[in-house]
Amino acid sequence: MTITVSDLKDYLRISHNDDDTFLATLLETAKALAYEKTGISYVSGDLLYEQLLKYLVQHFYDDRTAFADKQTVEVPYTLTTLIKHITYRGEFEPPEQADEQQAEQTE
């Protein structure tokens, strides 16, 4: 499943369309930041990566006035943990492929 603006609106509980373009921009920003931090590109269906993108978009959306208010908001621990996990686990491998490889190794 590829994350859409509609998915983000559901996740963030947004019912209006005023921020659709902004959310699309935040999603692309989240993908760029996630790739920069992990060195791994987003693959549709990677549940951990998709959750990371949703968390990042939520963080960006909720804290979009941080600079105007002269507050700084640290990246939540959850984001840091997901970034590290995705970085160290390597490229995403769908579960069925992992099962097939494990079966081949035991034969």
55 band by pLDDT with thresholds 50, 70 and 90: very high
Would you state the pLDDT for residue 34?
92
Would you state the pLDDT for residue 106?
61
What sign does the dihedral 67-71-72-74 (CA atoms) show?
Answer: negative
List the one residue out of 93, 98, 100, 63 whose CA is nearest residue 79: 63
Would you state the pLDDT for residue 64?
76
